[in-house]
Amino acid sequence: MDPLDIMTNLDKVFPYYQAIFSADEQLVIGYEVLGRIQLNDVIQSLGPFFQDENVPDEYRIEVDDYLLHYAIEEFLQLQDSELYLFINRNANLLMIDHGESFLQLLIEKQKTGLKLEQVVLEITEHDFKGDVDQLYHLLTYYRTYGIKIAIDNIGKASSNLDRIGILSPDILKIDLHPLRLSSPLQSYYDVLYSISLLARKIGATLLYEDIEVDFQLQYAWKNGGRYYQGYLLAKPKRQFVSRDDRKDMLKEEFQHYISTEKRKLERLYRFTENFHQRIHYLITKIGKQYVDYNQLLEELSIQLDDCCFRIYICDEDGFQQSVNIFKREKWEIQPQYFLRNWSWRPYFLANIFKMRTDKKGFLSDVYSDIEKGDLIRTFSYPLNQNHYLFIDLSYEFLYEQEGLL
């Protein structure tokens, strides 16, 4: 589409609105403004126009402002102070005049009833080419007016988590489109997990977008998503959908997810209890027969050959008090691990305290093993007040157990 066709047909430019839904109330909490143009009876997206850096800056800014005027006037007709209006802006264009024209447009609309607390400014961090500190100061200035900040398209392209942390947005929009791939890389899930941790640290709300099928919605629900957006829930439309448009559907889906998750937790609890009893029995049975820890581990490797690939013992400070017993084609001894310290690992000392207090073993979350690269879990067991047994369960074993992966 020729940019001049758009500039000479501004009267045929108008906003579409895509609803955003909440997990807590299952209601629409806001609408994202998307640009459209109708030429020759065909409605087309203005996305390519706004993303094309060959289009003069002043053209894109003029169309952006035109759409914003249009959208705010229609948004105010809803007369609902609880709704948010999500407004996309190119951060590079925003910084041309240090964001002043955008802010003045919003302030002008206050006279007709707009509350700036209802405005959510969406920017894409990985497209920004300027000084991130200057952008941070601008966004901080906007916040003094009550404007909320969202970082868009996280997960779709390379995003710098350090820069996102500096900008401290109110909302992180995570793109779930890669989940539609036949087999997303584990690294993709690891990045999403890192983003969820970052959101928690900076106090940001997670908004999952591009939700097109049920399992994406389930993933968003299970991984800390408070807000949801995508074709599964509502396509962009010329009119605003009602706030309770998908309430029944979301409530039914959430109930299904809750039931599924409760069953999984029950299976996980039963497995942990049974495995604890198995280890307790083995330690009690062979505990008086071994001379040292290495001999104990060799015997345990025979008894646990069906489920694990690594066994070792640490003291309460994380110093390894045994060799590693490691299974490749067959079990082998790795003496180089004796006296290595693992207290630097996340949650290690907290887990030691948990075992000392509860006096029983427990199962870790699923994580990627550094040496093998497989998804595994570790079962930790208190041998006595000072020493603790660690058993790494193999991916093959976990795969055969319902609900452990």
Please write the tens of the pLDDT for every residue from 329-374.
Answer: 899 999 999 999 999 988 899 999 999 999 999 999 988 898 888 9
Domain co-membership, 292 together with 230: no
Mind listing the pLDDT tens digit for each residue in 173-186? 999 988 887 667 77
Mean pLDDT calculated for residue range 220-248: 97
Average pLDDT of the chain?
A: 93
Residue 128 covered by a domain: yes
Asked if residue 67 has pLDDT above 70, the reply is: yes
In this prediction, residues 129-145 reach a mean pLDDT of 95
* % of the chain surpassing 90 pLDDT: 80
pLDDT for position 157? 53
Does residue 263 fall inside a structural domain?
no
- The tokens for 342 are 């693992």
Cβ-proximal residues to 228 (8 Å cutoff; 6+ apart), any chain: 20, 21, 22, 23, 207, 208, 209, 211, 217, 220
Across 30-44, 86-100, 244-258, 289-303, least confident range: 289-303
pLDDT reported for residue 217: 97
Question: What is residue 159's predicted lDDT score, i.e. its pLDDT?
Answer: 59
Q: Rounded mean pLDDT of 249-273?
A: 96
Same domain? 63 vs 200: yes
Q: Which residues contact 326 (CB under 8 A, 6 or more apart)?
A: 309, 310, 332, 333, 334
Select from 219, 238, 257 the last residue of a domain: 238
Least confident segment among 3-7, 157-161, 197-201, 326-330:
157-161
On whether the CB atoms of residues 334 and 323 are closer than 8 A, the answer is yes
Q: Do 310 and 224 share a domain, yes or no? A: no
**What pLDDT shows up at residue 371?**
86
pLDDT of residue 160: 75
Strand boundaries in 126-278, DSSP class E: 148-154, 171-175, 205-209, 225-228
Q: Is the pLDDT of residue 288 over 80?
A: no
- pLDDT value at residue 155: 62
Is residue 275 one of the residues assigned to a domain? no
What is the domain extent for residue 10?
3-238
Residue 307 forms part of a structural domain? yes
- Domain-located, residue 270: no
Last residue of a domain, one of 198, 219, 238: 238
Q: Who has greater pLDDT, 156 or 245?
A: 245
Residue 233 shares a structural domain with residue 291: no
* CATH number, residue 18: 3.20.20.450
Q: What is the mean pLDDT of residues 195-221?
A: 93
Q: Does a structural domain hold residue 280?
A: no
> What is the average per-residue pLDDT within 73-85?
97
Residues 130 and 205 in one domain: yes
Q: Both 229 and 315 in a single domain?
A: no
pLDDT at res. 72: 98
**Residue at 252 is within a domain:** no
Q: Looking at the structure, do residues 111 and 221 belong to the same domain, yes or no? A: yes
Q: What distance in Å separates the CA atoms of residue 34 and residue 15, rounded to the nearest whole number?
A: 6
Q: Is residue 187 pLDDT above 80, yes or no?
A: no
User: What number of CA atoms fall less than 13 Å from residue 33's CA on the CB side?
Assistant: 27
Please tell me whether residues 122 and 222 are part of one structural domain.
yes
Residue 259 within any structural domain of the chain: no
Same domain, residue pair 61 and 152: yes
CB 135 within 8 A of CB 163: no
35 in the same domain as 115: yes
Task: Indicate if 124 and 204 belong to the same structural domain.
Answer: yes
Structural domain count of the chain:
2
Last residue of a domain, one of 208, 238, 268: 238
The answer to which of 41-55, 153-167, 208-222, 352-366 has the lowest mean pLDDT is 153-167
Distance CA 342, CA 320 (A): 8
- Residue 117 sits in the same domain as residue 175: yes
pLDDT digits (tens, 9 = 90+) for 386-398: 999 999 999 999 9
Distance CA 5, CA 191 (A): 41
Distance CA 133, CA 353 (A): 41
Residues in a beta bridge with 367: 376
